Amino acid sequence: QSPEAWWDSVPVTRDHKQALEERLSLSSMLARSQGDLPPRSMKDSSHEVHLPLGSQPHIREKYLTHHNTVRYPHRLLISYSHTHNPALPRSPLSIVTALVDKIDMRQHTIYPDRDIKFTGHVTWVGKTSIEAKMYMSQLHEGAYSPVLEATFVMVARDPENKRAAYVNPLKPEGAEEERLFQQGEVNKTRRVELSTASLLKVAPTAEERKVVHSQFLSTLDPQTVSFRSRVLPPKSVWMEDAKVKGLEICHPQERNIFNRIFGGFLMRKAYELGWANACSYGGCRPNLVAVDDILFQKPVEIGSLLLLSSQVCYTEGNFIQVRVHTEVAGPSDGGSTTPPTCSTSPSCRTTTVPMIVPQSYGESMLYLDGKRHFSQAAGI
């Protein structure tokens, strides 16, 4: 019996396939245009969830690391509330994560014995896409203080997850909601501009070319004055020596309703590998400053081998910019695809970390891309 035939015979898999077949009947409930859907307010999608680490100590073990700090739980999904139609028994939409635009840390210390609160709501809507914000705060001296703010972009698909589907328009109410909506428009424009200016598409700017050439000159051997003879500057590390790789087998327990691997699992694995690389590189336990540009390019099948590669690509002071790239080897072939990429900005509590130095042109492009992400995370 082939592995595929054996997998199809598993009862859990049969139940999952039956659920997917039942969703096909929901296609007739999809809106033919956005104008057919009633507008929603931000309050319609507003949610609040509590994690009682302080008041219920017995649940702490599920959320604590070996350093007695808090692991970040799965993100709060609120897009289905925005598109909810009480007249329908089930939603015909399949809402999936397109990208994590940014995660900003407001506080580095998350205490293991204090309650945590998650709030969130939709902040911007296109025709088939939704931007949502999630806020995390922790109880301190009787009041909740902000810990992090995250921005997600979700896309609506048909029940088979094969084509785009319309979502309800968003109608801001009041000055604050209008500000959030306009910020969503700015975020969309920024994402388009960043994609257009990607170093995978266009050459570096004149200023960036000067940075690359200056780095090249700093690595030349003054004894030989040769283009091929390179010397590592003091207190520096070659980029080639700042990699950490990992491998994960994608088991059924990590699947979503479409019988694919859950995006939150992929995000967590990418984040943990990037953090481990920063820890090894800086020689300390780093604090996370920001995560941005987690881009989901293709779904990951159950049984796939998830190949993760993290690279320190930029350093400045005590900040370390890490890029995590993932590839997938299919369960039945030797080919590979590219699911999410992730960019994180940890910092060490020490004064400085070694300077990262590229050697090849490709590494120089990684360095410049990391520099761009760092500037964005730092608000420059």
Check if the beta carbon of residue 348 is closer than 8 Å to that of residue 224: no
Query: Which tokens is 217 given?
Result: 């000159």
Banded pLDDT at 229 (limits 50, 70, 90): confident
Q: Alpha-carbon distance 57 to 363, whole Å? A: 47
pLDDT in tens, 58-101: 877 777 665 556 655 444 468 888 998 888 888 888 888 888 88
What's this model's pTM, rounded to 2 decimal places? Answer: 0.78
Burial class, 278, CB count within 10 angstroms (exposed 0-12 / middle 13-18 / buried 19+): buried
Identify the residue whose tokens are 């859990």. Answer: 12
DSSP letter string over 60-108?
Answer: GGGTB-TTS-BPP-PPPP-HHHHT--TTSSS---EEEEEEEEEEEES-S
147 vs 6, which has greater pLDDT?
147
- Mean of pLDDT values over 307-333: 87
Q: Alpha-carbon distance 217 to 179, whole Å? A: 47
Looking at the predicted structure, is the pLDDT value of residue 329 above 70? yes
The pLDDT value recorded for residue 332 is 58
Looking at the predicted structure, is the pLDDT value of residue 28 above 60? yes
The pLDDT value recorded for residue 65 is 61
Instruction: Print burial letters for 345-369: b (CB count within 10 Å at least 16), e (below 16).
Output: bbbbeeeebbbbbbeeeebbbbbbb
The pLDDT value recorded for residue 94 is 85
- The residues, ordered by sequence, that sit 6+ positions from 329 with a Cβ below 8 Å of its Cβ are 304, 305, 307, 335, 336
How far is Cα of residue 32 from the mean position of the Cα atoms in its chain? Answer: 31
Do the strands 143-157 and 336-337 form a parallel or antiparallel pair, or are they unpaired? unpaired
Q: Alpha-carbon distance 304 to 296, whole Å? A: 16
